Amino acid sequence: MGIDRLIRAPLPVILPLLLGALALAALTPVPGDRIALITRLGRPVQVVDQGLALHWPLVDRVLLIDRRAITTLQEDIAAIGADGQGLRIDAYATWHVADPARFATSLGDPERAQATLRSALAARVQGAGGGDAPALARGAADGALRAGLAADLNRYGVAVDAVHLSRVVPADGPALDAALSAMAVRADGDAAVIAEQGRRDAALIRAEAQARAGQIYAASFGKDPQFYDFYRAMLSYDAAFAQKGSHTTMVIAPDSAYLHHFGATP
Partner 1 sequence: MDGLDRGKRAETPPGDGFEATRNGDGDTPAAPPRVNPWRQAAPMRAARLPHRAAPRWIGKITRLRLPRWSIAGLWPRAAGALALGMVAATTVHPVGLHQQAVVSTLGQWGATQGPGLVFSLPWPIASVRVADVASVRVADVASVRALALPADPGEHLMLLRDGALADVAYDLRWHIGDLRAYALGQADPDAALAAVAETAVRAAMAGADAAALTGEARLALARDAARRAQAMLDAGHAGVVVDAVVLRRCDPPARVADALRAVAAARANAAQETDRARNWGRQWIAHAQGEAGAFEQILAQYRQAPAITRRQMYYATIERALAQSDKVIVATPRATITVPTAPLHDTPPEAGHGH
Indicate which single residue of 3, 244, 264, 265 sits in contact with partner 1 (rule: CB under 8 A). 244
Tally Cβ neighbours within 10 Å of residue 264: 7
Give, as ranges, the residues between 33 and 52 that touch partner 1 (CB under 8 A).
33-34, 50-52
- Give 110 or 127: the residue with its C-beta nearer to partner 1: 110
Query: Facing residues of 66 across strands?
Result: 34
Indicate which single residue of 54, 61, 90, 98 sits in contact with partner 1 (rule: CB under 8 A). 90
How many residues belong to the site for partner 1 (CB under 8 A)? 101
Would you count residue 248 as binding partner 1 (CB under 8 A)?
A: yes
Determine the Cα–Cα distance for residues 164 and 142; give it in Å rounded to an integer: 6
- Give 43 or 247: the residue with its C-beta nearer to partner 1: 247
Would you count residue 129 as binding partner 1 (CB under 8 A)?
A: no
Would you count residue 265 as binding partner 1 (CB under 8 A)?
A: no
Give the DSSP H or E segment for 164: strand 158-170
- Give 30 or 120: the residue with its C-beta nearer to partner 1: 30
- Give 31 or 57: the residue with its C-beta nearer to partner 1: 31
- Give 43 or 223: the residue with its C-beta nearer to partner 1: 223
Determine the Cα–Cα distance for residues 207 and 265; give it in Å rounded to an integer: 56
Give, as ranges, the residues between 150 and 209 that touch partner 1 (CB under 8 A).
161-162, 164-170, 179-180, 182-184, 186-188, 190-192, 194-195, 197-199, 201-203, 205-206, 208-209
- Give 101 or 168: the residue with its C-beta nearer to partner 1: 168
Compute CA 87 distance to the chain's CA centroid, rounded to the nearest angstrom: 14
Indicate which single residue of 38, 79, 137, 153 sits in contact with partner 1 (rule: CB under 8 A). 137
The contact mask relative to partner 1 for 49-68 (x = CB under 8 A, - = no) is -xxx-------------xxx
Q: Are 98 and 45 in contact (CB under 8 A)?
A: no
- The one-character DSSP state at 259 is G
Q: Is 66 exposed, middle or buried, given 0-12, 13-18 or 19+ CB atoms closer than 10 A? A: middle
Radius of gyration of the chain (CA): 48
Q: Which of 56, 65, 141, 53 is nearest to 98 (CA)?
A: 65
